[in-house]
Amino acid sequence: MRPVANPARTPRAFTIVELLTVMSIIVILIGLLVPALNKAKKFATNVKQMAQLRSIDAAIELFSNEFGGYPDSGSLDPTGAPYCGSMRLAEAIMGKDLLGCHANTLFRRDGLGPGGVQLYPPNPTAANLSARKGPYLQAENANAYRLRQIYGDGGAGSFLPDTFVLCDVYERQMASGEKTGMPILYYKANTANNLHDPNVASSMTITDSRGNIYNYHDNQALLTLGKPWEASGSTATPHNLTDPLRFFRNTRSDKISTTDRPYRPDSYILISAGWDGEYGTADDICNFEWKYRE
């Protein structure tokens, strides 16, 4: 006799309905998980950015101890050449070649010192290196990039394309082909002034802040270079912070109610473009309590 098959042992395949049900559950779970992972990644990167700003704070204090004050953030060097706050910050902390800031620096964009001596030669001598201070951050951790690496060839505007700036940690693929963050903006307080008045913004100039503690012009030329992931060698969309009113609103301290005062009126402010790479938006990370105001 032929054996009778045991129905209980007969292999049973999944039905189409069961497969679709399982796949739907997996898709739903992924849809719930991905935003949570992105949020966690964003939070972790923000923490990393705040740590970088604290490192820069410490480096600036070391510079101040050595040089007797914070580096200036004016948009022009002593010869009138474009050399903005972000670039001065990088030279003060790292030097123009990342080997330290020369003790005789005049913060000229061409690197010349007193008597026209080149303070940052291509092949510095031992005597030259011994006259350097710092660097106050390790080169591997400074996140220093040349402007051409960020904005591409022809995209640095009136600035020298090989000038270094310190970039934030929100790296993205730029039109230059490099993967970098955006430059950290640096504004030094003018402690001789006591205003934070946006009403005089239209009359402010590169050299005259009209009594304001901070001059929004200090990094204005860099901001007008726009978003370097959009274009290379052409004009990209300018950042929101090019609007002086937005600069004043978002750097105003809420701690003082009797009059308008900026954050850190006795030192300096640092501004990172944040996750979206655009300055003057809600996700900017700063060395003060950034509260976004339209």
Nearest residue to 223 via CA among 255, 253, 247, 256: 247
- 180 near 150, Cβ under 8 Å? yes
- 61 near 71, Cβ under 8 Å? no
Question: Which neighbouring-strand residues pair with 285?
Answer: 272
**AA letter at 251:** T
- 248 assigned to some structural domain: yes
> What pLDDT, on a 0 to 100 scale, did the predictor assign at position 36?
61
- 43 assigned to some structural domain: no
**AA letter at 141:** N
- 75 assigned to some structural domain: yes
- 186 assigned to some structural domain: yes
Nearest residue to 251 via CA among 267, 238, 266, 264: 264
- 20 assigned to some structural domain: no
Residues 6+ positions from 216 with CB-CB distance below 8 Å:
187, 201, 204, 244, 247, 248
| pTM attached to this predicted model | 0.87
Residue spans of the chain under pLDDT 70: 1-12, 14, 32-38, 231-235
Number of domains in the chain: 1
> What pLDDT, on a 0 to 100 scale, did the predictor assign at position 233?
47
Q: In the Cβ-directed half-sphere of 181, how many Cα atoms lie within 13 Å?
A: 25
Nearest residue to 128 via CA among 98, 107, 91, 103: 103
- 119 assigned to some structural domain: yes
Residues 6+ positions from 27 with CB-CB distance below 8 Å:
none
Q: In the Cβ-directed half-sphere of 116, how many Cα atoms lie within 13 Å?
A: 0
Where in the sequence is the domain holding 77, given as residue range(s)? 69-286
Torsion of CA 169, 213, 264, 272, to 10 degrees: -10
- 249 assigned to some structural domain: yes
- 59 assigned to some structural domain: no
